Amino acid sequence: KRLSRQEDVPRILYYVQRSKEHHWCCAEVTFYCSDQLLCNQWVQALQRRLDLQGVRPKNLLVFINPFGGKQLGKHIYDKKVAPLFQLASITTEVIVTEHANHARDHLAEVDLRIYDGIVCVGGDGMFSEVIHGLICQTQKIAGIDQNDPNSKLVACSLRIGIIPAGSTDCICYATVGVNDPVTSALHIIVGDSQPMDVSSVHHNNTFLKYSVSLLGYGFYGDVLKDSENNRWMGPSRYDFSGFKTFLSHQCYEGTVLYLPATETLGNPRDESRCTAGCYVCQYSGKLLDLSNNKQELKHVEEDWKVVKGKFLAINAANMSCACSKSPMGLSPAAHLADGTIDLILVRKCSRFNFLRHLIRHTNKDDQFDLAFVEVYRVKQFIFTPKYSEEDNIDIRDIGKNLFGQFCSDHPACGCSQVNSNWNCDGEIIEHAAVEVRYVLFCCLELSG
């Protein structure tokens, strides 16, 4: 850079600059050159370099949920993201969703070959829609039956980027380290990628959903169910419903069967923190490739472990589930792409003890270092509620609140005879009995 002379042509070079705590921003430097030819040679040489990299997306399909979070998705995209995509010469097709499942259904059908990636502007629920659309189309083309829990799914070739504009934004936060639209847009532009574990949820050999972040029964299931009635509150609906659910102190009885992950490195209580290029994920990825290429490792009945009891919460974390409310996450040592799920069981305990557990999510204390909390790294688990779901439907007809009230007033019991539901990445699964397993590394995320 040198002082400009009047006849010099200014050329601006934009670049990514790291700023505090995982934030990225776009910075620029202006060059002046009096020799037009030389200047063009420089620009072309730089352009060729960038093209050679091949990882940068050129054409993206963007979905915006206008109702996610504080309903600012469209504004965030137009003001903060679209100008950066334009600077990076990325062309886009933008769809502002008109109803729930709009993005999922569009992705399940549309010809995806012209796109280099999908971008979703919204929260975890919106990301969930996008992966469902992508995975479903990929399996349909490959002729894979998703209802069969033993099916080997085919990985999707497209990457998905998230522009955080939701309520919790935990998938964005746990992968990028922060929920900032500009940082995510820049990760997308430079073509960063990060594989992610995806689990499938089945009920009676019927496919229900895929999960990427949290699958929670009991506390997080009840928080979600209640919060859906208060969507108008925006992100603070979770605080309100969290408080109500905490006070209701409902516990649920059932049996958890799980298959421990024995071949992978690490355990849920170690000090490792998964970041880009994580060696635990690389090691596990190689291992999973090997077991996929050879014959499937057969698990015998004795490998399965069983836990019966009364639970306040059953949480299955595919990743740390870090978010602004809990900067280390539900399971701080969980890995993004190690082929495992951290299964956290919070047994019935006093309100005071449960509060201690919850508060530890917000600070550096160990939330697992409590007698009523267990955590296992698993490949698969099955939950069966004590009360059959068919009976529950009758009970629901009578009135869940009435029965819940009756039961919690009963001194000897304290456990609800009505089942909870699963919170699957912020979407409700009505069935209580589920079979969950790691199924594939999904769609590399654009943000990394």
Print the binding letters for residues 32-71 with ligand ADP: x by CB under 6 A, - otherwise: ---------------------------------xxxxx--
Binding range to ligand ADP, per CB under 6 A, among 118-126, 279-287, 311-319, 342-350: 118-126
Candidates 116, 197, 226, 435: give the one binding Ca ion (CB under 5 A): 197
Binding range to ligand 1PW, per CB under 6 A, among 167-175, 263-271, 297-305, 411-419: 167-175
Distance CA 47, CA 370 (A): 56
Candidates 173, 210, 217, 220: give the one binding ligand 1PW (CB under 6 A): 220
125 binds ligand ADP (CB under 6 A): yes
| CB 157 within 8 Å of CB 200 | no
Distance CA 212, CA 424 (A): 8
| CB 222 within 8 Å of CB 416 | no
335 binds Ca ion (CB under 5 A): yes
- Beta strands 305-317; 214-218: pairing state: antiparallel
H/E run at residue 376: strand 373-385
What are the structure tokens assigned to 282, written together? 């690389």
Quick one: what does residue 170 bind among Ca ion, ligand ADP, ligand 1PW, none, with the CB cut-off 5 to 8 Å set by partner type? Answer: ligand 1PW
Nearest distance, CB of residue 100 and ligand ADP, angstroms: 4
Q: HSE-up of 163 (CA within 13 Å, CB side)?
A: 30
What is the distance of C-alpha 431 from the center of its chain? 21
226 is catalytic: no
Distance CA 285, CA 173 (A): 22
Nearest distance, CB of residue 79 and ligand ADP, angstroms: 18
- Of these residues, 124, 222, 226, 342, which one is catalytic? 124
Chain positions 299 to 318 lying near Ca ion, rule: CB under 5 A, are: 318
CA-based nearest residue to 92, from 163, 179, 175, 10: 163
Candidates 149, 166, 218, 254: give the one binding ligand 1PW (CB under 6 A): 166
Distances, alpha carbon 434 to alpha carbons 182, 217, 330, 376, in Å: 38, 10, 21, 18
254 binds ligand ADP (CB under 6 A): no
Q: In terms of C-beta distances under 8 Å and separation of at least 24 residues, what long-range contacts does 390-395 make, across chains too?
A: 392/418, 392/419, 392/432
* Phi, psi for 223 (deg, rounded to 5): -60, -45
Nearest distance, CB of residue 63 and ligand ADP, angstroms: 8
Using a 10 angstrom Cβ sphere, with 0-12 exposed, 13-18 middle and 19 or more buried, the burial of residue 115 is buried
Nearest distance, CB of residue 195 and Ca ion, angstroms: 10
Beta strands in 204-304 (DSSP E): 206-211, 214-218, 251-260
Print the binding letters for residues 389-418 with ligand 1PW: x by CB under 6 A, - otherwise: ------------------------------
Binding range to ligand 1PW, per CB under 6 A, among 5-13, 89-97, 212-220, 252-260: 212-220
Measured from the CB atom, the residue of 124 and 180 that comes closer to ligand 1PW is 124
Catalytic residues: 124
Question: Which residue ranges make up the site for ligand 1PW (CB under 6 A)?
Answer: 123-125, 166-170, 213-214, 220, 224, 238, 321, 323, 325-326, 330, 358-359, 361-362, 423, 425-426
Question: Which residue ranges make up the site for ligand ADP (CB under 6 A)?
Answer: 65-69, 97-102, 122-126, 129, 166-167, 426-427
